[in-house]
Amino acid sequence: MPASSLLASLLAGPLLLAAVLPAASAGSDLDRYRWKSRVLVIAAAADDPRVAAQGRIAEAAGAGMRERDLVVVRAIGEGREAASLRRRLGLPATGFRAVLVGKDGGAKLVAEEPIPAERLFSTIDAMPMRRDEAAGRRN
């Protein structure tokens, strides 16, 4: 897979599955998740070991991610798709960034290192929309 590919990863069971998105969808990719899913965007160079570290965190936290409607979108390398997503989120062209995007499309958390699952979940669980979702599941 080319280093500049933009990948959307959805959790299915315990495995993290990746699907290559067409180039034209890079700018609109986050829009397709709006009001449906929260998104963890991972932006980095292809050889950055933090990409794999964040992927392992996501894979290990699969059940919690599914419960919170959290998917992973990776903007890897210097390609057009990755650059478009970085620009949209106001991220630098280089370096690692992990960004939690809420269902409303806004950035809720930005980090220069992989984000532990506990921090992702506590940030999401504090969101009013998530509290409403959790209350609805209990009723």
pLDDT of residue 28: 59
pLDDT in the model for residue 22? 35
Q: What is the pLDDT of residue 68?
A: 97
Residue 39 near residue 101 (C-beta atoms within 8 A):
yes
**pTM of the full structure:** 0.79
Residue 135 is predicted with a pLDDT of: 86
* pLDDT, position 124: 98
* Angle made by CA atoms 108, 6, 43, in degrees to the nearest 5: 45
pLDDT computed for residue 139 by the predictor: 62
Segments in the chain forming alpha helices (H): 29-33, 49-60, 62-67, 80-89, 117-125, 128-138
Question: Could you tell me which residues come within 8 angstroms of residue 13 by beta carbon, excluding any fewer than 6 positions away?
Answer: 62
Measured CA to CA, the distance from residue 52 to residue 54 in angstroms comes to 5
| CATH homologous superfamily for the domain 6-138 | Glutaredoxin (3.40.30.10)
- Average pLDDT for runs of 10 along the chain of length 139: 37 32 50 96 96 97 97 94 94 96 97 98 96 81
